[in-house]
Chain A
Amino acid sequence: MTPATENGKEIAIYTEDLVRVFGEKVAVNHLNLAIRKGEIFGFLGPNGSGKSTTIKILCGLLSPTSGRAFVSDIDVTQYPEKVRSHIGYMPQKFSLYEDLTVQENLDFYANLYGVTGQRGKTRKREVIDLVGIEPYRRYLAKQLSGGWKQRLALCCALVHEPDVIFLDEPTASMDPVARRDLWDLLFSLASAGVTLFVTTHYMDEAERCSSVGYIYNSNLIVSGGPDELKQAREVVGSGNRRIEITCLPLVKTFNIVKALPYVYDVTIFGQALHIVVPVEISVQQVLADLNQSGVTVQSHRDIEPSLEDVFVELTKANIKKDMALQEAPAPKNPLEEMLSG
């Protein structure tokens, strides 16, 4: 059965060699996850890498081709219907009834989950207050903005007090303020012991998760806490130095830096440039070379790689690997190869 605890904390979501194949395409390839109770797990990766498929398997909407998955200690592959009263699901696309009011949507889902009578009344009041949707109770769902629609969806996903909530790109259609509000809400849920499984494309959101998994082309490449990932030298590539410089004019400098023979990568960040060079190259050398080209550097500092840097490099490395695989006869399972190597 599942390991009930890990490091003294209960496990809420556990998968073992989970595989899902659509025709000839492998959507999820031997996925192993162990997510602790009360965690916010950020599930990242490019589009089409298998994030939504994984969520659908964990919700019991899709059956896996092989492997096992447990949510709240229930074997999802065996009892997909049992798991449903323990989970909430917020799909990528708004999936409530646009022609019902906020209150009617909530009533409908409360009834379906059997949250009725006095308990239903109290619970509905609780979730309405929690997401703060009270002023919009009588609005039709289609009259709400993107942010409020997501809050309503969360409201309905929460009405039966689930242990685990799956959120598939919950902030995709939101403005920054609504995004931050939603995340504050997710934190308060997590602190109440609810486990959150969130997919996102936003790196700032990923950095707020308590643990992160990165899936690329159906394979889980890395997982761990965001800080651990950033530290993972073998992931980012050891022997790199990251420098941030502020200078004028920015775009001209960008092109000059890019032309320097030893520069791995350069990115514009607001008024600054992030430059990646081999560790043998000193900061002084870079500054000298820039000076020679007529650039005045106003300030400079060494920086840590961001989570985005980590994932961009991971993706690049894997694309390179894919291309190499196409030439050479491919080993069966790139993930195993990576783990063993």
Chain B
Amino acid sequence: MVNKAAKSFTGITLSGVQSIFRKELIQLIRDPYLVIFIITLPIIQLVITGLAISKDLKHVDTVVCNYDKRNASIELLKAFHNSTFFDISDGNYVDTEDDVIRLVNSGKYRVGVVIPPNYSNQVLTESEQAEVTLVLDGTNGSVAKGILNAANLVVANHARVVMNAITLQDIGQSSPLGMVTLTLNNPEMKTSYFLIPGILAIIMHMMTIMFTSFAIVREREAGTLEQLMVTPIRITDLMVGKVLPYVAIGFMDMILTLAVMVWFFNISISGNFWFLCVASIIFIVTSLGIGLVISTVCRSQVQAVQLSMFLLIPSFLLSGFTFPLEPMPWIIKIVSYALPLTYYMEIIRGVVIKGTGFNELWLNTLVLTGMAVLLVVASITRFKKQVA
């Protein structure tokens, strides 16, 4: 009647974790497609999406209406053409501003330049600021913004040239053509510079959530979980043993994609690499936690995919990857700051682009750590309740 006090059901044992870990590794190796998938998928995703969005604006065909037709305006147009952002060939000239608007509207050109009749006078005499009109197709906001920035750059540079040549004596005077704000951290105006670290974060997030949620749901679906539950295995051992291989895989994927970023896209990590590694591991564990919570809720792998998607889409949209956080209404901001990806997005962009480190990003790291602990504990508790 009296039983030796059984080992406590909670806690963690090395032997338990080892047994599960070893089994998980064997199963992983037995599935060569999965191994190939795990290694190549993040790289392919990064390369494809990276290439797709890193196609920066160059040689945009530009329609021109020059009412002025004198040397000063021709110089300006040459500046536009020579910047390599804009292409102005002989066939691109039209007679009226209305033609420019019509052609841009029809989609034949993305951008048009209109030079007013008194441009030369205004520039030469500096009686008033000369106003060149840029007609822009705003359909694709980010493209339009890129073109606008390029145009500002060209105009600003040209203004300096004009000022040096003609009004050396009045150097303190305001620009005859207008000013441009210089973009920090991304002088080449490469969008890829900004987006690729973000894509990397999203790929890591997605892969880790999917793989971990599958790991346990697959056992539930196959009935093997039930068989496991009649053994004296501790639930913590089971969870840790199952998840450890995926931490390793997640970290390996992380290094691989970072390598692609550095050597394929020529984006170097300006900050501390080791800080990025530590923060990435914490982020992977947080993603794992989400995957585990999903796996305690779902009965089948299909459900797991659906629920992952339900969580991933707001992450893509609200983490600051697609849209900047600052202008969001406060209620959306609350959602944004509930997403782990938001914090990691700031970390990886900070370290890679700006070269910031722990001193600036300690709060993000702390929040991620808290989330990781919370999610893992929550999933283990939930799982225990289901079994008991």
A and B from one assembly?
yes
Residues of A near any B CB (own CB < 8 A): 1, 4, 59-61, 63, 73-74, 79-82, 84-85, 87-89, 91, 93-100, 104, 108-109, 111-114, 116, 140
A61 touches B226 (CB 8 A): yes
Asked whether any CB of chain A lies closer than 8 Å to the CB of B31, the reply is yes
Report the Cα distance A111→B26, complex, angstroms.
Answer: 15
Contact of B1 among A1, A87, A88 (CB under 8 A): A1
Contact of A104 among B26, B231, B387, B388 (CB under 8 A): B26
Name the residue in B16, B30, B230, B387 with the highest tally of chain A Cβ atoms < 10 Å from its Cβ: B230
Asked whether any CB of chain A lies closer than 8 Å to the CB of B362, the reply is no
Report the Cα distance A95→B229, complex, angstroms.
Answer: 11
Asked whether any CB of chain A lies closer than 8 Å to the CB of B27, the reply is yes
11 A-B pairs with CB atoms under 8 Å apart are A63-B388, A95-B222, A95-B227, A97-B27, A97-B224, A99-B31, A100-B27, A108-B19, A108-B22, A112-B231, A113-B231
A111 touches B388 (CB 8 A): no
* Given A80-B388, A85-B6, A95-B226, A100 and B232 contact (CB-CB distance below 8 Å): no
Chain B residues within an 8 Å CB radius of A96? 224, 227
Report the Cα distance A206→B15, complex, angstroms.
Answer: 41
Asked whether any CB of chain A lies closer than 8 Å to the CB of B228, the reply is yes
Chain B residues within an 8 Å CB radius of A104? 23, 26
Asked whether any CB of chain A lies closer than 8 Å to the CB of B223, the reply is yes
Report the Cα distance A93→B16, complex, angstroms.
Answer: 25
Asked whether any CB of chain A lies closer than 8 Å to the CB of B233, the reply is yes
Chain A residues within an 8 Å CB radius of B222? 95, 98
Contact of B3 among A59, A80, A82, A111 (CB under 8 A): A82
Asked whether any CB of chain A lies closer than 8 Å to the CB of B9, the reply is yes
* Given A97-B27, A100-B27, A112-B16, A81 and B227 contact (CB-CB distance below 8 Å): no
Closest residue on chain A to residue B13 by CB atoms: A114
Report the Cα distance A112→B15, complex, angstroms.
Answer: 8
Chain A residues within an 8 Å CB radius of B18? 111
Chain A residues within an 8 Å CB radius of B228? 112
B231 touches A91 (CB 8 A): no
Report the Cα distance A87→B227, complex, angstroms.
Answer: 12
Contact of A93 among B23, B31, B223, B232 (CB under 8 A): B223
Closest residue on chain A to residue B15 by CB atoms: A111
A81 touches B6 (CB 8 A): yes
List 15 additional contacts besides A61-B229, A79-B6, A140-B30; criterion CB under 8 Å: A60-B230, A73-B3, A74-B3, A80-B388, A81-B232, A82-B6, A84-B232, A94-B223, A95-B224, A97-B224, A100-B27, A108-B23, A113-B231, A114-B15, A114-B232
CB distance from B230 to the nearest CB of A (A): 4
Closest residue on chain B to residue A84 by CB atoms: B232
B residues 15-72 touching A (CB-CB < 8 Å) = 15-16, 18-19, 22-23, 26-27, 30-31
Chain A residues within an 8 Å CB radius of B26? 99-100, 104
CB distance from B159 to the nearest CB of A (A): 69
